[in-house]
Structure 1
Amino acid sequence: MNKSSHFSLDFYKLLFTNIFSNLGEIIFNVTVLTLIYAHTKSVFESTLVIVISMLAKVIGSYIGSNYIFHKFSIRNVLIYSESLRIIFAIIFIFLIPIHHFENIYILFILVFLINISNSFFTPGSLALIPIILSKEKLIQGNSWFSISNQLTQTIGWLVAVPIVNFLGNIISIIVYIFLFIISLLLILFMRADSIKRDENNITNFTKALKFIRDKKIVRDITMMDLLETSANIIWMPTFLLTFTLEILNEGEHIWGIQGATYTLGSLLGSIILIKFSKSFNRLGGYTIVLSAFIMFLLTIGYSLNSLAIIAIIICFIDGPAYQIRETVQKSILQTEIPLDIQSSVYSTINTLIFGSYIIWLLLGSYMADIFGVQWIFVFAAILYFLSTVIAFTSNEIRRYRILNE
């Protein structure tokens, strides 16, 4: 583990692996959504891709926790994950000229399989970070990952659409394969692997759930994540666009500005974390409480507001609050969960979070049609408030320090 003032070479390899993987995933998603909509002209079947992807991640996270991560080293799991995505993409290319996707459900099956493979990557990379970095660098390291995610998501969607439109579906998937080959090579050249595992302490889904239940700070953070994930459906494009049109009485351009300002705010939050990482190491628990409370205030303010300029300002401020809380929570989990079971525990948490998100996305959409979208935002604010209560009443969270000095 590199304890100098700089990150280790393995950290940068993992960081760029994440960047190339994200870019490839965006190009694939744009290609699939474009292909499905062009053939079906159906919003429902295009939306079904998102639902299938989320269901695959629920199932994949369960498989990873129960059958994968306790049997293989983390590095090998990442290698298998990237290799499977490349193989399924090659199958995709061969199927296009054969079927022309007259049977669109073949494509749904491929989307499902690729997202199951994808579900192993995030828990594995999260578990590698505390192996590669020393404890005092976790907040900085996680912040750089957040910055890379935000930039690739923003830039990726801007360039992916013209790339797919210009190159066509098959060439776009070849670009996707090329990006994942680079990602795979970076993993292969990593020296860090996994820590020595205790053969008497094999962790499956059930044991990981028991660990989460018995380790109070992990349980409290997981409960906060579940509440906030459920509340986060309001920031989905459909909910935010509906609120912009119906409550703010503005057009799509204001919807786009809100998304852009939130991204800028999130980037600012990551920069603040990197700049003042020592302070956040000492104030970890109080940071979570304060950020959660700010998110509650901003959401209730947003839900009761009808002015576009106020909505834009709130979106900008919400970015740093969310980013700081999420990164500090992630760093605490990386510190508190034993290294040999981290990937299994992360997969179990992801199973709960993805499952919760699907349920609340469907329920929230139904409730929005009945009660109106504004009440969904008010309900989300209540969930953020409950998350704040958990953080404030938990001595383990409130008094937590990643480093005492």
Structure 2
Amino acid sequence: MKKVPFYSFLVTKTSLALAEVIYIMVITTFIYQKTESALIASMFPLFQAIANLVAGLLSPLIYIKFPFSKLFMSLPGFRAILLTLLLIGFEAIITHIYVLLIHVLIISFVGGLEKPILCSLIPKIVLKDDLVKANGSISVTSQSAQIAGYSFTGLSVLKFGHYPTLFFNIVLVWIAVLCIFITSKYIIENDEKVTENQSRWELMKEGWIFLWKNSTLRMVTLMDVIEGVAGSIWIGAITLVYVKEALNQGEQWWGFINASYYIGSIIGGLLTLLLAKLIQKHLIVSMAVGSLLFSLFTLIYGLTSIPILALLLCVAMGPAYQIRDVAQQTAFQINIESQHLPKVYASQGILLSLVTGFSIFLMGFISDMIGVRAVYILGSILIFISAVLSLSLIQVGKRKSFDGDLNL
């Protein structure tokens, strides 16, 4: 592992993970306090989703025009400038909520272009044998940053106000930009060339074509889609209903459940680092075992009425999820050339965003019509199906001679 570029990128991802949580909480709470309207406050994540969708659709046209290193540096820098302008003009902008929402829309669009670029960097600065360790390290630090953000941002807003908290957010973003500048010095360009007869439509389709034609990417994406549907069982509203109806506890247990899951995720990330070499050698087995354990723990969680057992299960789910997730990310990264990753990640992101939006509605409907326990039972079944599908990658690997990469 190249230590300087990796650790500078690790700081980048950690800073951005914390900054993103602070940004979301500051803007959401501010809009709600200003308007006292949950509907208008909900327009913030809606605008973010729309901007990310448009960015995902247009990103191939942008990625093909500019070298990776320029996009890697310029997109976070441009977003940092937009956030700084938001801070400078905060007093003026806050008097016009819709101006704020439009500014948020632009920032979210740039962020939507930036995310696939950042996700694609790891294979460019890390050797294949170190991918699990690298992905695990980023997972641990990002999860820890998010926990800190959710834990302290609300308190900071109450004690210091929106403006100082947003200022800290800007500091974090500029730290990330500085680290990106350091990392960019170690990137070796391997950009894709455009043939003269390629139309814009063909360029926009390329990410989807890679996802469909590459059987490994197709299967991993299908697993991600299924798990994306299942992942909606953990949204706040469903968890709150579960706490009240299944555990017969007060709202404070909602926080206990979330904290337990985050603690488990951190433990899982550390376990992934400890077992990095073993997971790297047995990616498919790691996916399957992680998914099977996650499915089992989710099923028991949905059926239990014992609060302490529910907390312990949340902690246990963390390692299962992290091992599965890191193994899937690594399998995805090693089965496509790095120059194609940004547009493939962009296409996958569009698909997962659409699935997540639909599944949130689906799980809410099932919870209301059948009961909250049915939601977790369905989630466990979907995760189990994903585990079974992961085993089919063994045959894919044998047919495509991926043994050297997947070490089946």
Instruction: State TM-score, norm by structure 1.
Output: 0.91
Aligned partners of 2:320 and 2:330: how far apart in 1? 16
Distance 1:30 1:198, change over 3 A: closer
**Does the CA-based 8 Å contact 1:73-1:194 persist in structure 2?**
no
Per-residue Cα deviation, 1:273-295 (whole angstroms, up to 9, x for no partner) = 21121111111111111111222
Q: Percent identity?
A: 25
- Aligned counterpart, 1:166: 159
- Aligned counterpart, 1:11: 6
Q: How far off is 1:194 after superposition?
A: 4.6
Per-residue Cα deviation, 1:73-111 (whole angstroms, up to 9, x for no partner) = 33322323222322322342355433543x422222222
Tell me whether 1:153 sits opposite 2:172 in the alignment.
no
- Aligned counterpart, 2:17: 22
Tell me whether 1:183 sits opposite 2:176 in the alignment.
yes
Aligned partners of 1:222 and 1:175: how far apart in 2? 36
Q: Which segment drifts farther, 295-304 or 53-62?
A: 53-62
**Does the CA-based 8 Å contact 2:93-2:99 persist in structure 1?**
no
- Aligned counterpart, 1:332: 331
- Aligned counterpart, 1:271: 270
**Does the CA-based 8 Å contact 2:47-2:101 persist in structure 1?**
yes
- Aligned counterpart, 2:190: 196
Amino acid at match of 1:11: F
Which SS does the other structure have where 1:249 is aligned? Answer: coil
Per-residue Cα deviation, 1:36-83 (whole angstroms, up to 9, x for no partner) = 11112223333332233233222222222x222222233322323222
Q: How far off is 1:237 after superposition?
A: 1.5
Distance 1:282 1:197, change over 3 A: same
Distance 1:343 1:99, change over 3 A: closer
- Aligned counterpart, 1:130: 123
- Aligned counterpart, 2:101: 108
**Does the CA-based 8 Å contact 1:78-1:120 persist in structure 2?**
no
Aligned partners of 1:170 and 1:76: how far apart in 2? 31
Distance 1:228 1:353, change over 3 A: same
Map residues 2-401 of structure 1 onto 2, 5 A cutoff.
Answer: 2=1, 7-64=2-59, 66-101=60-95, 103-190=96-183, 191-200=185-194, 204-396=203-395
Q: Which segment drifts farther, 124-133 or 297-306?
A: 297-306
Amino acid at match of 1:333: F
Aligned partners of 2:98 and 2:374: how far apart in 1? 36
**Does the CA-based 8 Å contact 2:215-2:396 persist in structure 1?**
no
Aligned partners of 2:300 and 2:53: how far apart in 1? 33
Aligned partners of 2:294 and 2:36: how far apart in 1? 38
Aligned partners of 2:219 and 2:407: how far apart in 1? 21
Per-residue Cα deviation, 1:9-37 (whole angstroms, up to 9, x for no partner) = 01111111111212222221121112111
Aligned partners of 1:126 and 1:194: how far apart in 2? 16
Aligned partners of 1:266 and 1:99: how far apart in 2? 38
**Does the CA-based 8 Å contact 1:74-1:194 persist in structure 2?**
no
Aligned partners of 1:100 and 1:206: how far apart in 2? 40
Instruction: State TM-score, norm by structure 2.
Output: 0.90
Distance 1:145 1:125, change over 3 A: same
Aligned partners of 1:41 and 1:246: how far apart in 2? 29
Q: How far off is 1:387 after superposition?
A: 1.3
Aligned partners of 2:365 and 2:3: how far apart in 1? 48
Per-residue Cα deviation, 1:159-178 (whole angstroms, up to 9, x for no partner) = 22232233322333222222
Which SS does the other structure have where 1:256 is aligned? Answer: helix
**Does the CA-based 8 Å contact 1:27-1:164 persist in structure 2?**
no
> Which 5+ residue runs of structure 2 have no aligned equivalent?
none
Q: Which segment drifts farther, 327-336 or 118-127?
A: 118-127
Amino acid at match of 2:149: G
Q: How far off is 1:366 after superposition?
A: 3.4
> Which 5+ residue runs of structure 1 have no aligned equivalent?
none
Amino acid at match of 1:47: S
Backbone CA RMSD of aligned residues: 2.2
Q: How far off is 1:265 after superposition?
A: 1.5
Aligned partners of 1:144 and 1:50: how far apart in 2? 28
Distance 1:194 1:62, change over 3 A: farther
Distance 1:205 1:317, change over 3 A: farther
Aligned partners of 1:243 and 1:47: how far apart in 2? 23
Aligned partners of 1:232 and 1:286: how far apart in 2? 21
